Amino acid sequence: MTQICLNVDDITVTYNNGHTAIHDASFHLSGGTICALVGVNGSGKSTLFKSIMGMVKPTRGRVTFNDMSVNQALKQNIIAYVPQTEDVDWDFPVLVSDVVMMGRYGHMSFLRIASKEDKKQVDIALERVNMLDFKHRQIGELSGGQKKRVFLARALAQQGKVLLLDEPFTGVDVKTENAIIDLLKNLRAEDHLILVSTHNLGSVPEFCDQVVLINQTVLAFGPTQTTFTPQNLMTTFGGALRYLSLSGDKLHEDEDPRKVSILTDDERAAIFYGEGKHDSPHQDLLVNHVENEQKRPK
């Protein structure tokens, strides 16, 4: 297959209650990229994912994959989506391997009888997220972070060239986040097109080569180096950015003793692009959202 392209052309999405979540949004991506989707809560990130998946229909504009409509791309199993949360009650007994096998349904006949190849791909996918040992466990018994890895495996088992990940790092520890980032880098090298929403801004320059900044429309889109700038982030988050200096392991602890420091422009630039003393901004620094994100009721 030729390299996959995702074209989002001038889309507007208005929900049935009349709320327009996204308007006039455009961007274009080609395979072999990891693009971050960044914006405040309610800025339309999940809505954008759902319109790319055909789960909500744009009222204007269109989404295409090369020359294919979303429906055609879905029929060809090109798009794999890992939603932010699963609207499923996992209390009933389902094995981890069954969940990942769901990613193979598009490759099966309507009788859904798993072939040798389907079983092999399930194992490969579980291995890639380091969850093969959990294959015969009930999904309901797993932790939140482990479930996330299983859902990622389900998307991998689908073998689609486009991977849409809605906040894959929420609720996972630093080690797992690093492992997921390494996996995404490998998938990029295999020409996958990856769009990933994240609130962890500190890690974006480390693994994303492109960025879409969104607040009800696409505010900026392009290479991370030129788009993920303090100025554009201020526009996106509508307030002053605060920089929190953290030691690596504490990054994901709720009660971490964060040392707030306001940085000079040079220091800030060094953090954004991983130069100088901050070799790994993802480990050492969290560029926090903004005041209004922090004030958000928990």
Which residues bind to ligand ATP, rule: CB under 6 A? 15, 17, 19, 21, 39, 41-47, 84
Q: Is 143 helix (H, G, I), strand (E, B) or coil?
A: coil
Q: Which is nearer to ligand ATP, 167 or 177 (CB)?
A: 167
Could you tell me the smallest distance in angstroms from the CB atom of residue 196 to ligand ATP?
13
Q: Which is nearer to ligand ATP, 85 or 225 (CB)?
A: 85
Q: Which helix (H) or strand (E) holds 144?
A: helix 144-158
Residue 181 and residue 80: Cα distance in Å, rounded?
17
Count other Cβ atoms within 10 Å, centred on residue 122: 26
Could you tell me the smallest distance in angstroms from the CB atom of residue 298 to ligand ATP?
13
Note the maximum CA span of the chain. Answer: 62
Could you tell me the smallest distance in angstroms from the CB atom of residue 167 to ligand ATP?
7
Q: Which helix (H) or strand (E) holds 164?
A: strand 162-166
Q: In this structure, which long-range contacts are made by residues 242-245, counting pairs with CB atoms below 8 Å and at least 24 apart in sequence? A: 242/288, 242/290, 242/291, 242/294, 243/268, 243/271, 243/285, 243/287, 243/288, 244/285, 244/286, 244/287, 244/288, 245/284, 245/285
Q: Which is nearer to ligand ATP, 22 or 101 (CB)?
A: 22
Q: Which is nearer to ligand ATP, 283 or 288 (CB)?
A: 288
Q: Which is nearer to ligand ATP, 93 or 144 (CB)?
A: 144
Contact 197, 167 (CB under 8 A): yes
Contact 23, 8 (CB under 8 A): no
Could you tell me the smallest distance in angstroms from the CB atom of residue 6 to ligand ATP?
18
Q: Which is nearer to ligand ATP, 96 or 204 (CB)?
A: 204
Could you tell me the smallest distance in angstroms from the CB atom of residue 43 to ligand ATP?
4
Residue 153 and residue 126: Cα distance in Å, rounded?
5
